Amino acid sequence: MALTTSEHAQTQTHTAQLPQVTEPRNPGMALDLDWVARVQANTSAIERRCAALPARRSVKKTHQAAWLLKAVSCIDLTTLSGDDTEMRVGRLCAKAKHPVRAEVLQALGMDGLTTGAVCVYHEMIPAAVQALQGTGIPVAAVSTGFPAGLSPFHLRLQEIKESVAAGAHEIDIVISRRHVLTGNWHALYDEMKQMRDACGDAHVKAILATGELGSLRNVARASLVCMMAGADFIKTSTGKESVNATLPVTLVMLRAIRDYFDRTGYRVGYKPAGGISKAKDAITYLALIKEELGDRWLQPDLFRFGASSLLGDIERQLDHHLTGAYAAGYRNPMG
């Protein structure tokens, strides 16, 4: 599958992606429990569809390079380690501004390409904001007791407000999984709505922690409830669970996004996170987005990869495309 001419032009001109959002934000809607109750997931059919996709949507040569450049523009370059320092975040931000070596981008006609955002803990927001000043690259912060989301609720809301005040443009929040596992959709809706309100103008990504929700049906229902409550993005995982982003989960969440758009007219973004480290996997996810939601969702204001190691493999593949050989690791440092 190849990028169309118009898609390639969008990729070439899309250098400073955000916060130049052109879509109206999802305002949410009243909780519709009848709609939630009707949501089902045919697990065997979903798994068959996803198993066939990688072989059916293989791209090579110039087409592959175009898709990999698209993937770079949609990466939330992330560091969420206990030993993070201002210096490490500064290096990560330098990589976000120049994710691929200049000579490679020049050879591909893609000068000015950046990643979609930089994602850090609250303590590292000032360092990231300073390092990215004037670039148009937004800072995203994980919040609400990340990754478990089990701290007192008023503290989770206060953490959101403090991250926004510190300069975060996007807030990645974690939902309370127990609300999904017990079917308490009112509680999940109220929680998500209050978190959305606490974000103010900052966009909110709702992390479902899909590996801990028990079933694909629960994933579909939780996705829908979070969108009803006003989520700007729905996201698979914190990256800290034993099971993170998978294609079956992605298909379920994309179809929930499509159903919500069909009902309300509002586009909600999608972010798979955790476990996506290979360039070929990135292309598979992009192909699924294109097939299920269409070209509009292939832009950074509606799609992100929550990954960092992915960028290194994409750089190796781009080197191979140009030279016929894979570059040594030191040629593509993270920062």
Catalytic residues: 172, 235, 271
- Give CA–CA dist 293/84, Å, rounded: 36
- Residue 107 burial by Cβ neighbours in a 10 Å radius (0-12, 13-18, 19+): middle
CB contact set of 205 (below 8 Å; sequence gap of 6+): 140, 170, 171, 172, 173, 231, 232, 233, 234, 235, 269, 271, 304
- Give CA–CA dist 117/110, Å, rounded: 18
The amino acid present at 307, given as its one-letter code, is A
CB contact set of 62 (below 8 Å; sequence gap of 6+): 321
Backbone phi, psi, residue 69, to 5°? -65, -40
Bridging pattern class, strands 203-207 and 233-235 = parallel
Contact in structure between 319 and 331 (CB atoms under 8 Å): yes
The amino acid present at 229, given as its one-letter code, is A
Which residues is 207 bridged to in the sheet?
174, 235
